[in-house]
């Protein structure tokens, strides 16, 4: 019998991989699949984009390109890799593939944070695997850590830097005096930012990742709309952070980082969670996490605190997680949540910080020491 989550190709045939999207991440995945990344039983069957000429100019194999993703899925796929981003048509294509029993690998935190519960239900019903390691921390394997390696320990809380673009901006502004605009432009050029960087700088991307982490850490899909991403001054994400605040924080032995924090609530109660520009001890691991790197600390019962740090964005780093998920599908390991019970649902309530740091701009940042 074929195990759940594994779509069986014709006997003796390689698994046909359809890649939707050939941008920063998709390009790297296509290159790996085209140059024999080391998994001989996977074959690139097609690459869906909007602009065929642009993809060809970027070196994508012209014989494999199509602008019809739904047909590619229906006719030439044993596995679907969704790297288009955005809500639609990504959500519909993922749902259709799962509903048809095809395993899906995606990096799309936007879709997962809003439609994760529905996609999990479809995947459980059809038996198709849904894997999404690349959706949080780029290539750094946080989701597998939570969903597999830590199943013997109960996670009480986690906090972390989960957005590479904003961490790059904050640490560049503090270290080199780069302007906000110059640091954002450099992060965009390096391929770290989303197609619309508003979701990075306003904390929406970090809030999406918080929802995905909470599903695996606490067993509940959080209502995305309830996750607060504003600091006390009312400006979202890092949009209210100015150079004068960073300098004043440094004078007091603090650094500013965009932190996503969540704490398990009572059974069926709300989860305490928020994404905020936060003042951290300048000697802490969070302050020492600079550039595009991400860092998450998970507080557990049996293991105490576990920390994971690594690259959080970028084409090559993120492709590493996509390829690891493809190998997991080939190895018949099921969905990212395979070792966990079905999820419940929960809302989020922003916790009140114990103390605040007030910058010269008048903005107040919660203090975490
Ligand atoms: P990107 O550079 O903007 O590339 C998107 C690709 O998808 C392009 O090839 C685009 O084709 C194609 N596409 C978009 N809409 C399409 C449609 N309706 N039909 C067919 N093709 C379509 O994006 P990316 O940075 O690679 O990100 C891809 C996904 O990975 C997103 O979900 C993102 O959040 C996630 N992610 C990115 C990173 C990162 O560091 N970049 C890290 C982790 C996760 P055209 O160019 O022809 O429009
Ligand atoms: N735009 C995202 C970031 C990409 O900067 O973290 C990785 O998810």
301-346 residue pLDDT tens = 999 999 999 999 999 999 999 999 999 999 999 999 999 999 999 9
Q: Which atom of ligand 2 is nearest to the CA of 107?
A: 8
Q: What is the CA radius of gyration of the chain?
A: 21
- Closest residue CA from atom 31 of ligand 1: 85
Q: Would the pLDDT of 149 be above 50?
A: yes
Pick from 313, 316, 319, 321 the residue to mutate for probing ligand 2's pocket: most ligand atoms within 8 Å of its CB.
Answer: 313
Strand partners, 306: 298
Burial of 351 (0-12, 13-18, 19+ CB in 10 A): middle
The mean pLDDT of 295-299, rounded to a whole number, is: 98
CA dihedral of residues 153, 159, 160, 166 (deg, nearest 10): 160
Ligand with an atom nearest the CA of residue 195: 1
| 180-195 mean pLDDT | 95
pTM over 0.85: yes
Average pLDDT, the chain: 94
Note the pLDDT of residue 268.
78
Task: For residue 60, report the distance from its CA to the centre of ligand 1, in Å.
Answer: 14
Which bound ligand lies closest to the C-alpha atom of 237?
2
- pLDDT mean over 163-175: 96
Question: Locate tokens 């000429």: which residue?
Answer: 53
Residue 54 CB–ligand 1 contact under 6 Å: yes
Q: Is the CB of 160 under 6 A from ligand 2?
A: no
123 has a pLDDT exceeding 50 = yes
Q: How many CB atoms lie within 10 A of CB 352?
A: 8
Which atom of ligand 2 is the closest one to the Cα of 313? 7
The DSSP 8-state label assigned to residue 2 in this structure reads P
For residue 292 and ligand 2, the question of a CB distance below 6 A is answered with no
Q: Judging by beta carbons within 10 Å of its beta carbon (0-12, 13-18, 19+), is residue 62 exposed, middle or buried?
A: exposed
Instruction: Reply yes or no on whether the pLDDT at 276 is more than 80.
Output: yes
151 CB contacts (<8 Å, ≥6 apart)?
Answer: 339, 340
- CA–CA distance, 345 with 215 (Å, rounded to integer): 9
Please indicate whether residue 312, judged by its CB atom, sits closer than 6 Å to ligand 2.
yes
* Mean pLDDT value of segment 81-110: 98
Q: How far is the CA of 164 from the centre of ligand 2 (A)?
A: 5
E strands, the chain, in order: 15-20, 42-48, 65-66, 79-82, 104-106, 130-131, 155-161, 220-222, 254-263, 271-281, 293-300, 305-311, 344-346, 348-349, 356-358, 364-368
Cβ pair 322, 245 in contact under 8 A: no
Q: Is the CB of 85 under 6 A from ligand 1?
A: yes
Gap from CA of 21 to ligand 1 centroid (Å):
5
| SS3 state at 249 | helix
Binned at pLDDT 50, 70 and 90, residue 1 comes out as: very low
Overall average pLDDT of the 111-117 stretch = 98
Above 80 in pLDDT, residue 256? yes
Provide the pairing of β-strand 15-20 with 79-82: parallel
pLDDT of residue 303: 96
| Ligand 2 proximity of 258 Cβ (cutoff 6 Å) | no
Position 369 scores a pLDDT of: 78
Q: What is the pLDDT of residues 196-254, one digit of tens each?
A: 999 999 999 999 999 999 999 999 999 999 999 987 667 899 998 999 999 999 999 99
Angle of the 315-330 helix axis to the 24-34 helix axis, nearest 10: 50
- Return the pLDDT at 12: 66
Residue 161 has pLDDT above 50, yes or no: yes
Q: Is any ligand 1 atom within 6 A of the Cβ of residue 165?
A: no
Point out the ligand 2 atom lying closest to the alpha carbon of residue 168. Answer: 5
Mean pLDDT of 270-276: 95
- Residue 4: is its pLDDT beyond 50? no
Atom of ligand 2 nearest to the CA of 165: 5
pLDDT of residue 25: 98
Alpha helices in 127-270 (DSSP H): 142-144, 164-176, 180-189, 198-201, 204-218, 243-251
CA–centroid distance, 321 to ligand 2, in Å, is 13
Position 5 scores a pLDDT of: 46
Question: Residue 2: what pLDDT?
Answer: 45
User: Is there a contact between 90 and 111 (Cβ–Cβ < 8 Å)?
Assistant: yes
Closest-lying ligand to the alpha carbon of 293?
A: 2
Q: List phi, psi (to 5°) of 253.
A: 75, 30
């Amino acid at each position: 019998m074929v195990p759940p989550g594994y779509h069986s190709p014709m006997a003796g045939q390689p698994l046909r991989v359809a890649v939707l999207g050939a941008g920063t991440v998709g390009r790297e995945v296509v290159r790996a699949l085209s140059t024999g990344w080391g998994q001989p039983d996977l074959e690139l069957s097609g690459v869906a984009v909007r602009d065929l000429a642009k993809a060809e100019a970027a070196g994508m194999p012209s014989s494999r390109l199509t602008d019809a993703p739904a047909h590619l899925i229906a006719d030439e796929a044993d596995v679907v890799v969704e790297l288009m981003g955005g809500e639609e048509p990504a959500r519909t294509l993922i749902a259709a593939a799962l509903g048809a029993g095809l395993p899906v690998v995606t990096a799309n935190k936007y879709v997962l944070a809003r439609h994760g519960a529905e996609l999990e239900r479809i995947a459980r019903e059809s038996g198709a695997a849904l894997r999404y390691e690349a959706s949080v921390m780029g290539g750094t394997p946080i989701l597998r850590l939570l969903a597999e390696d830590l199943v013997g320990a109960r996670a009480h809380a986690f906090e972390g830097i989960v957005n590479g673009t904003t961490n790059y901006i904050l640490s560049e502004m503090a270290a080199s005096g780069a302007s906000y605009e110059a640091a954002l432009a450099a992060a965009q050029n390096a391929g770290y930012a989303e197609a619309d960087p508003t979701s990075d700088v306003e904390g929406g991307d970090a809030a999406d990742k918080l929802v995905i982490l909470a599903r695996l850490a606490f067993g509940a899909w959080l209502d995305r709309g309830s996750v607060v991403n504003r600091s006390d001054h009312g400006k979202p994400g890092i949009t209210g952070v100015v150079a004068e605040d960073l300098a004043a924080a440094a004078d007091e032995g603090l650094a500013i980082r965009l932190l996503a924090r969540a704490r398990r609530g009572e059974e069926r109660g709300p989860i305490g969670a928020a994404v905020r520009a936060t003042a951290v001890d300048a000697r802490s691991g969070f302050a020492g996490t600079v550039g595009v790197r991400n860092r998450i600390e998970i507080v557990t019962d049996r293991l105490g605190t576990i920390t994971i740090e690594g690259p959080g964005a970028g084409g090559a780093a993120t492709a590493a997680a996509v390829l690891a998920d493809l190998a997991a599908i080939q190895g018949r390991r099921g969905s990212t949540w395979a070792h966990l019970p079905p999820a419940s649902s929960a809302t989020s309530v922003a916790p009140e910080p114990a103390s605040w740091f007030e910058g010269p701009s008048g903005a107040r940042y919660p203090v975490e020491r």
